[in-house]
């Protein structure tokens, strides 16, 4: 069943200890949809400028991603650049040119509105909310946010996530949003805001999924080499929602299978780990589903006891 | 089968966001032996001063710990005090009075020398080495170290761990010892120094065990409240070696069961998590084996998928 992905489609300039790329395809919507496309029909909503390259469009289209909701408008595509610390756990933003993204006002094509799965990349909460309201018959909706919205747009953010099934953020964001340092208590506080499921991304340390009174924890995959962590969190999100869509996951029918949520977290982790193996979206040029499933099984071998 | 534990027996002054205790029983040998005592006969080697309280001796003795190797000499017991940061991920040492520990020269009682399991708490590498050499018929020997020995006593440390089966350190220490940031590569470098097994403690993020070409990762247990992390790493070590001793684990017979190593890591994690629930050794005044086994099973419920 289909997944609708909303968020930024961008060009990134990235420098890591392994090298530097001045301009490459990026953006949350791009990474989420690439990851999701391995599991389920994926439709994107975003905006790009006249400079958006045909080969980048072809990469997305080649993965079967529905581009009907990708608006092309006069001007330049959103550009972001940043540099990672030596251990790649921190990054500094060098430049953010919103360009055409400044006036982004997502409008869903008619053919998107009945999709059962929706994932909202990190954009202004009011925009996330407007997309949610354009959809009918959702089985599962959720998304990401960031410190900026939590701090300066709290009221708007709370009005937005009230209608979400899941929130997918990192540990610092969960602490900031809830005002609780302890992650169990942070989850309990966030459940009172609306979502029944909270996924906390912990970078190299993996992820935790909280669902009501239950939780699941997965450690991070140990890579020999992390080339570029850009997009890893978004690929996690794409693997997570994509797998649930593939399984036709439906919380509303009351038959909640926690194992399906756990496996979605593993697939999220798998996609996030592949993302780091090359610069930008490069790993997705060759990645095959059988590699994904093999790494899913590898997670069993290093976590089972 | 018996475990010999060597290390500091101390008094600690500890301040955490949850409170402050000016003087309480502590030391690596104390924590390791308390944790190990739930699994296997445990014998300690250490030194205390005339101020060492009868009730503290009784706590250890009450857990069945063999105190024949605990020397009592004129002077005061080793004293350490420190204060934890608000998130308890960092601590600052306020005071270190070596006292009688300054002249510690561990001599093993005759009754200890044929014990099959040896774990060496973090002390000067030359002393760890001398203990190793006093033993006959070891099945498994290993221990802990710290940045100070890695940096300023590197040659002595390398001559010591050359004869160890396992090394149990944190991620920063593994990186410092190996000169490799990536933990897989750090493990490969450390295997060339002697140990065939490396356990990396990651605090709240859990632990990784590397054994030759294989590895196992466990996330940390999510506590509602961390009262005092002092001793958690040593309790991990005690649970790890204690469980292997209980199982009669023997690498030398060639029948290596990686699952046993994984389970030892889980038991280490379980003991480390209990340690944090109260100040100092307080949790061990009431902790029962059935609680330990129940938490071991809980690790399955939040890691299986």
Give tens-digit pLDDT for B8-21: 999 999 999 999 99
Is the minimum CB–CB distance between B222 and chain A shorter than 8 Å?
A: yes
Closest approach of chain A CAs to the CA of B96, in angstroms?
Answer: 30
**What is the pLDDT at residue A217?**
98
CA atoms within 13 A on the CB side of A188: 8
- pLDDT tens track for A142-178: 999 999 999 999 999 999 999 999 999 999 999 999 9
Q: What are the Cα distances from residue A214, in Å, to A210, A256, B267?
A: 6, 12, 22
Nearest-CB residue to B303 (from A217, A223, A224):
A217
pLDDT > 90? residue B87: no
**What is the pLDDT at residue A16?**
94
pLDDT > 90? residue A115: yes
Q: What are the Cα distances from residue B197, in Å, to A175, B142, B151, B193?
A: 36, 9, 22, 11
Which residue of chain A is at minimal alpha-carbon distance from B262?
A305
Residue whose pair of structure tokens reads 């295997």 in the numeric block:
B191
Question: B-chain residues within 8 Å CB-CB of A86?
Answer: 181
pLDDT > 70? residue A255: no
The token duo for B33 is 């032996």
Question: A-chain residues within 8 Å CB-CB of B226?
Answer: 182
pLDDT > 90? residue B90: no
Closest approach of chain A CAs to the CA of B211, in angstroms?
Answer: 12
**What is the pLDDT at residue A88?**
87
- For chain B, the average pLDDT equals 96
CA–CA dist B243, B119 (Å, integer):
13
**What is the pLDDT at residue A87?**
84
**What is the pLDDT at residue A254?**
64
Task: Express the helix, strand and coil content of chain B in percent, nearest 5 each.
Answer: 40, 25, 35
Angle formed by the axes of helices A232-246 and A28-36, to 10°?
A: 40
Query: Do B218 and B299 contact (CB within 8 A), yes or no?
Result: yes
**What is the pLDDT at residue B253?**
65
Is the minimum CB–CB distance between A222 and chain B shorter than 8 Å?
A: yes
pLDDT band at B250 (very low <50, low <70, confident <90, very high): confident
pLDDT (average), residues B159-171: 97
Q: In this complex, do B303 and A181 lie within 8 Å of one another by their Cβ atoms?
A: no
pLDDT > 80? residue A21: yes
- pLDDT tens track for A96-112: 999 999 999 999 999 99
| Chain B from 126 to 185: CB within 8 A of any A CB | 181-185
Is the minimum CB–CB distance between B87 and chain A shorter than 8 Å?
A: yes
- pLDDT tens track for A204-235: 999 999 998 999 999 999 998 889 999 999 99
pLDDT > 90? residue A124: yes
- For chain A, the average pLDDT equals 96
**What is the pLDDT at residue A176?**
97
ipTM of the complex model: 0.93
CA–CA dist A139, A135 (Å, integer):
11
Query: Do B33 and B66 contact (CB within 8 A), yes or no?
Result: no
Closest approach of chain B CAs to the CA of A52, in angstroms?
Answer: 36
Closest approach of chain B CAs to the CA of A219, in angstroms?
Answer: 5
CA–CA dist B15, A227 (Å, integer):
41
Query: Do A153 and A129 contact (CB within 8 A), yes or no?
Result: no
Q: In this complex, do A216 and B302 lie within 8 Å of one another by their Cβ atoms?
A: yes
CA–CA dist B81, B94 (Å, integer):
5
pLDDT > 80? residue A256: no
CA–CA dist A10, B231 (Å, integer):
48
**What is the pLDDT at residue B257?**
82
pLDDT band at B255 (very low <50, low <70, confident <90, very high): low
- pLDDT tens track for A36-74: 999 999 999 999 999 999 999 999 999 999 999 999 999
Is the minimum CB–CB distance between B304 and chain A shorter than 8 Å?
A: yes
Nearest-CB residue to B222 (from A184, A265, A305):
A184
The token duo for B23 is 């003087």
The token duo for B216 is 């196992």
């Amino acid at each position: 069943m289909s997944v609708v992905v909303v968020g930024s489609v961008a060009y990134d300039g990235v420098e890591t200890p392994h090298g530097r790329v001045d301009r490459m395809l990026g953006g949350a919507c791009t990474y989420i949809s690439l990851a999701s496309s391995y599991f389920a029909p994926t439709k994107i909503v975003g905006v790009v400028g006249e400079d958006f390259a045909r080969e980048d469009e072809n990469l997305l289209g080649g993965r079967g991603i529905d581009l009907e909701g990708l608006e092309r408008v006069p001007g330049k595509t959103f550009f972001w650049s940043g540099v990672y610390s030596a251990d790649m756990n921190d990054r500094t933003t060098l430049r953010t040119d919103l360009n055409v993204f400044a006036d982004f006002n997502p409008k869903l094509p008619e053919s998107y509105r009945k999709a059962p799965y929706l994932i909202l990349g990190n954009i202004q909460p009011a925009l996330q909310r407007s997309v949610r309201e354009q959809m009918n018959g959702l089985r599962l909706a959720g998304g990401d946010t960031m410190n900026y919205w939590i701090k300066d747009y709290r009221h708007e953010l709370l009005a937005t996530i009230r209608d979400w099934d899941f929130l997918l953020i990192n540990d610092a964001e969960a602490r900031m949003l809830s005002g609780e340092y302890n992650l169990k208590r942070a989850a309990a506080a966030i459940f009172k805001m609306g979502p029944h499921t909270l996924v906390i991304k912990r970078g190299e340390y993996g992820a935790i999924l909280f669902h009501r009174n239950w939780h699941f924890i997965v450690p991070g995959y140990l890579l020999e080499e992390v080339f570029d962590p850009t997009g890893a969190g978004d690929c996690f999100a794409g693997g997570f929602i994509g797998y649930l869509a593939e399984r036709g996951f439906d919380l509303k029918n009351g038959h909640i299978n926690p194992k399906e949520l756990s496996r979605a977290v593993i697939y999220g982790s798998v996609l996030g780990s592949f993302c780091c193996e090359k610069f930008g979206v490069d790993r997705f040029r060759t990645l095959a589903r059988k590699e994904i499933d093999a790494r899913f099984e590898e997670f069993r071998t290093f976590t089972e006891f």
